[in-house]
Structure 1
Amino acid sequence: MNRAPRLGGRNVQVLRSQLALEVALTVYAAVAAALLVRLGLLALAIPARVWSGEVVYAATAPFVAPLTRLPGGTAGIFGAATLADVTTFVIFALVPLVLLARDRSR
């Protein structure tokens, strides 16, 4: 009587594609939020000795590390935040805007 609808091959492929997109967006949002928290902790000069600072700094270090190797990457901006920290967050914040603008132009 009340059976689940049968999904064709195309519908399953669309569902998988949508699931993959949602997972990717969730991971992206989590990384961007962690980078924002990192900026907040650095602006308040929270040391890595505090457990929350240690967790956030360790989780976001792989994203910031490449920019710290560039000239000027370790220059202070505000609080303990460096140019590498701010640039990493700005890049992560601008990526959705670029993707949105690119899709609208089609």
Structure 2
Amino acid sequence: MTDKLKDKIEKFLAMCLKSKSEKEGDTSIKVDELTEEQHREIAEDAVAITNSLVELQRLLPVSRKLAELGYLLEVQGKITVKAGEAYDEAALNFFSDMYGGGIALSKRLH
């Protein structure tokens, strides 16, 4: 592990600990005093958060494009999107109905 990466991880852990201790009203714990279990829990949370952010970064452009297509489909009169409904979901449903052949997506992928 490079020193730069180690520093980033330590800063991240310190921020997490500071946030947690402020929330709990306890400022006596220091990062270097964390147990291995606490380090592991923070690391697992960090990995889960990072994975979620990467997935979100990948899915947001898809959702935006589907929303644009949904709007165009509504303008063309091919779908109706009611108040509170999302254009991206309406477009996905339209294309799934049109091209899905009545087979659930999960079954077609396997």
Normalising to structure 2: TM-score of the pair?
0.35
Normalising to structure 1: TM-score of the pair?
0.36
Higher relative contact order (CA 8 A, sep 6+): 1
Q: Which has the larger radius of gyration?
A: 2
